[in-house]
């Protein structure tokens, strides 16, 4: 086999990156709309790729799904933090944060809960989930805890524990919403109350200014 020249090798790598990115983009759109049951052939048709390229670039459809889900939930968390940035009170901040995650961000959070369940039977994918959870626990939700601390609210435990409690509540609410349909019995105010209860935040803190 004749070795590729530097230019040819770079072109091959670039083509590979484009194919990998096209598969990821197509899979993101389809998984968010239809869930993990989307067939590889449909993803490849949307990406202009071949089924064996999913295996080549991702190892399996399941790994592609988990990578998509992890990226999606991180985007949802960042968007929720941005949405809440203009809030003036603790209650408004929490409503915007939770409203974003249970509203526009819900499909992404739901996808991630499915990915977490998938790792129960695909242990080789657990590192992806673990790394994503670590990032979630140290970013957007920490902003909520620090916001609350500025009001004089006292932590029950370390900030890492409180952060995990926040996301556990969000995942639980999204699973309920998924299981029971679009209207799952909670208004935004009730969902915020669940978060407050889960973190044991006094209701009197709700109207406290965060300036």
Task: Read off the pLDDT of residues 143-201 as tens digits, 9 standing for 90 and up.
Answer: 666 676 677 666 677 777 778 888 999 999 888 887 877 666 678 888 888 888 887 77
pLDDT digit string, tens, across residues 20-62:
999 999 999 999 999 999 999 999 999 999 999 999 999 999 9
Q: In which residue are the tokens 């799952």 written?
A: 184
CB of 65 within 8 A of CB of 117? no
Name the residue range of residue 21's domain.
1-59
How many domains are contained in the chain? Answer: 2
DSSP result, 28-70: HHHHHHH-TT--HHHHHHHHT--HHHHHHHHSSHHHHHHHHHH
Residues 167, 98 share a domain: yes
Residues 200, 156 share a domain: yes
Residues 18, 97 share a domain: no
Residues 146, 72 share a domain: yes
Bridge partners for 89 per DSSP: 209
CB of 90 within 8 A of CB of 152? no
Phi, psi for residue 6 in degrees, rounded to 5 = -55, -40
Note whether residue 211 is domain-resident: no
Bridge partners for 209 per DSSP: 89
């Amino acid at each position: 086999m004749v070795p590729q020249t530097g230019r040819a090798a770079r072109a091959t790598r670039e083509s590979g990156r484009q194919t990998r990115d096209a598969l990821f983009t197509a899979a993101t759109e389809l998984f968010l709309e239809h869930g993990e049951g989307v067939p590889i052939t449909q993803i490849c048709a949307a990406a202009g790729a071949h089924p064996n390229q999913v295996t080549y670039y991702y190892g399996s459809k399941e790994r592609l799904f988990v990578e998509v889900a992890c990226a999606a939930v991180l985007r949802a968390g960042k968007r929720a933090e941005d949405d809440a940035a203009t809030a003036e009170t603790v209650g408004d901040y929490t409503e915007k944060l939770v409203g974003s995650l249970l509203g526009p961000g819900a499909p992404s959070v739901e996808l991630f809960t499915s990915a977490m369940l998938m790792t129960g039977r695909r242990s080789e994918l657990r590192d992806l989930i673990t790394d994503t959870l670590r990032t979630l626990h140290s970013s957007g939700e920490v902003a909520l805890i620090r916001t609350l601390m500025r009001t004089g609210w006292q932590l029950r435990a370390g900030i890492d524990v409180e952060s995990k409690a926040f996301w556990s509540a969000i995942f639980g609410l999204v699973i309920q919403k998924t299981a029971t349909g679009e209207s799952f019995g909670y208004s935004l105010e009730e969902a915020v109350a669940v978060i407050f209860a889960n973190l044991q935040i006094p209701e009197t803190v709700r109207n406290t200014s965060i300036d």
